[in-house]
Amino acid sequence: MSAFITIALVVLVFIVIYQIGKASEYAGVIRGEEKVKAQTNRVLAVLLLLMFPLGCWGIYECNAIFQDRLLPVAACRTGVNYDSMFHWTTVVCGIVFFLTQGVLFWFCFKYQSTEKRTSFFFAHNNKLELLWTTIPAIAMAGLVAIGLKNWYDVTSPAPPDATVVEVMGKQFNWLIRYPGKDNELGKRDFRKINDANNVMGLDWTDPHNMDDIIAQNGELHVVVNKPVKLLINSRDVIHDVGLPHFRMKMDAVPGITTTLWFTPTITTDSMKQITKNPDFVYEIACDQLCGKGHYSMRGTIIVQTQAEYDKWMASQQTYYAANNAVATPAADTAKAQPKSETVKEVTMK
Ligand SMILES: [Cu+2]
C-alpha cells in the first residue's frame, strides 16, 4: 500500500511541475515572450559584469586572511629557487587569467542578446590561430625550462663533502641513523629488525655498524650551510619524507633507497626570530597516507651551527652500545648515559 502511495505521490509531483511550467509559458505569451526574454537577458548581463570584480575581491580577501598562515621563507637555496618559480608561474598565469576572464565577462555584457542584434558567424582566422597558439607555447616552454633546471638542481649528485644521514620511515615515526666516526653506514638486513633492540635491522657482523648512531626522538640534526644527503627508505609501507620548509619531498619505499640533498641556510634559532615564533621547528611530515597513525608521523629537523652539532653528536651513544652492552630494551635507551666511548670499549671486547 505504502509503495502505491509513494508512486502516486511522485507522479503527482511531476504533474504539478509540468503544469507550473505550462502556466508560466502561457503567462509569458500574455505578457509578451520577447519582452520577458530581453528583460532577463539585461539582468543576467549586469549580474555577470558584477560577478568578475566580486570574485576578484573574494580572492584578494582570502589571500589577505591566509597570508600569515603560509609557509615562512624557504630555508635552503633550492627552496628559494622553487619559490621564485612558483611566484613567476603565478604572475604569468595571473596575467592570462585577468586578460581572458576580463574579456569574457565584458563580452557577455556588451554583446548580450537584443532584438536588434543578429548572430555573427566567424569561421576561421589564421592570424588569430597563430597568435593564440604561439604565445602560450612560448610562455609554457619558458616555465617548463625553469622547472627542469630546478628539478635537475634537486636531483643532481650531492657534493662530496655532504653529511650522509639515513632516514627510515616506519609506522608511525622516523628513524634517523648517522654513520658515526668511521663515516660509513653499516649494512642492514630487514630480517634482523627487532623492536626491542634493533629497530633498523643493523647487521652486527659488519664493523661499520658499531659506531652508528640512531638519533633519539626522530630528530634530524644538520649543520647550517653544510650540504646534507638523505638516504631514504622504509621498514614497512610507502612513506614520504616531506620537508615543507625546504620545499622538498621524496618517497620512502621499502627495498629501494631514494636520495635527497639540500643545504640548509637558516638555523632553527634564526627561524624562530624570523617567524616570531619561539616554538618554531622544522618539520619532517609524512606526505604519503601510510596507515591509521599517519597523522602523527612527524619528525623534526634541528638546523644548528657546527659547534652546536658537534656538542650534540658528542652526547650521543652508539646504537650498539645502547642496546647490547647493557641488556636494556629500546625504551630505556633514552635514559642511557652519554659515555658512549667507555661503553663501546666494553662491548667491543
Ligand atoms: Cu604517512
The full 3-state SS of 27-81, as one line of letters, equals HHHHHCHHHHHHHHHHHHHHHHHHHHHHHHHHHHHHHHHHHHHCCCCCCEHHHHH
**Domain annotation covers residue 326:** yes
Task: Specify the pLDDT at position 321.
Answer: 77
**Domain annotation covers residue 5:** no
Rounded Cα distance between 309 and 36, Å, is 78
Mean pLDDT of the chain: 84
88 or 318, higher pLDDT? 88
Exposure b/e, 37-68, CB count within 10 A at least 16 = b: eeeeeeeebeebbeebeeeeeeeeeeeeeeee
Measured in Å, residue 193 CA sits from the centre of ligand 1 at: 20
Judge if 183 and 330 occupy the same domain: yes
Judge if 195 and 108 occupy the same domain: no
Measured in Å, residue 5 CA sits from the centre of ligand 1 at: 52
Confidence of residue 3 (pLDDT cuts 50, 70, 90): confident
Q: Is the pLDDT of residue 184 over 90?
A: no
Q: Is the pLDDT of residue 150 over 50?
A: yes
The tens digit of pLDDT for each residue in 41-63 reads 888 888 888 999 999 999 999 98
Measured in Å, residue 229 CA sits from the centre of ligand 1 at: 21
Task: Specify the pLDDT at position 325.
Answer: 58
Task: Specify the pLDDT at position 348.
Answer: 32
| CA-closest candidate to residue 165, choices 126, 222, 247 | 222
Cell numbers found for residue 198: 634493533
| Cα 81–chain centre separation | 16
Measured in Å, residue 116 CA sits from the centre of ligand 1 at: 63
Judge if 168 and 313 occupy the same domain: yes
Task: Specify the pLDDT at position 349.
Answer: 28
**Domain annotation covers residue 18:** no
Measured in Å, residue 122 CA sits from the centre of ligand 1 at: 54
Q: Which residue has the cell 596507515?
A: 291
Measured in Å, residue 16 CA sits from the centre of ligand 1 at: 54
Range of the domain at 69: 29-114+124-155
Judge if 109 and 170 occupy the same domain: no
Residues with CB in 5 Å of ion ligand 1 = 286, 290, 294, 297
Measured in Å, residue 288 CA sits from the centre of ligand 1 at: 5
Confidence of residue 341 (pLDDT cuts 50, 70, 90): very low
Measured in Å, residue 291 CA sits from the centre of ligand 1 at: 7
Cell numbers found for residue 116: 536588434
149 or 119, higher pLDDT? 149
Q: E strand or H helix at 262, and its extent? A: strand 258-262
Measured in Å, residue 107 CA sits from the centre of ligand 1 at: 49
Judge if 241 and 341 occupy the same domain: yes
Rounded Cα distance between 77 and 83, Å, is 10
Strand partners, 283: 300
Q: Which residue has the cell 626522530?
A: 218
Q: Is the pLDDT of residue 332 over 60?
A: no
Task: Specify the pLDDT at position 198.
Answer: 84
Measured in Å, residue 230 CA sits from the centre of ligand 1 at: 18
SS3 call for 182 = coil
Measured in Å, residue 171 CA sits from the centre of ligand 1 at: 8
Judge if 130 and 176 occupy the same domain: no
Measured in Å, residue 52 CA sits from the centre of ligand 1 at: 40
Contact between 321 and 337 under an 8 Å Cβ cutoff? The reply is: no
Contact between 111 and 117 under an 8 Å Cβ cutoff? The reply is: yes
Measured in Å, residue 173 CA sits from the centre of ligand 1 at: 9
**Domain annotation covers residue 135:** yes
**Domain annotation covers residue 60:** yes
Judge if 88 and 55 occupy the same domain: yes
Task: Specify the pLDDT at position 336.
Answer: 41
Q: How many domains does the chain have?
A: 2
Measured in Å, residue 231 CA sits from the centre of ligand 1 at: 18
Measured in Å, residue 254 CA sits from the centre of ligand 1 at: 13
Q: Is the pLDDT of residue 94 over 80?
A: yes
The tens digit of pLDDT for each residue in 263-274 reads 999 999 999 999
Judge if 290 and 210 occupy the same domain: yes
**Domain annotation covers residue 19:** no
**Domain annotation covers residue 43:** yes
Judge if 141 and 169 occupy the same domain: no
Measured in Å, residue 281 CA sits from the centre of ligand 1 at: 19
Confidence of residue 20 (pLDDT cuts 50, 70, 90): confident
Looking up residue 268, the CATH number of its domain turns out to be 2.60.40.420
Contact between 256 and 215 under an 8 Å Cβ cutoff? The reply is: no
Strands 282-286 and 239-243: antiparallel
Cell numbers found for residue 25: 509559458
Judge if 192 and 92 occupy the same domain: no
**Domain annotation covers residue 147:** yes
Judge if 101 and 173 occupy the same domain: no
**Domain end residue (candidates: 105, 136, 155):** 155
Measured in Å, residue 166 CA sits from the centre of ligand 1 at: 18
User: CA angle 159-160-165, nearest 5°?
Assistant: 85
Measured in Å, residue 242 CA sits from the centre of ligand 1 at: 10
Task: Specify the pLDDT at position 338.
Answer: 39
Report the side by side order of strands in the sheet with 173-178.
213-214, 173-178, 163-170, 228-234, 258-262
Strand partners, 166: 177, 231
Rounded Cα distance between 105 and 48, Å, is 6
Judge if 65 and 193 occupy the same domain: no
Measured in Å, residue 246 CA sits from the centre of ligand 1 at: 18
| CA-closest candidate to residue 250, choices 222, 230, 223, 225 | 230
Q: Is the pLDDT of residue 324 over 80?
A: no
The conformational region for residue 276 under phi > 0 = left, psi -120 to 50 = alpha, else beta, is: left
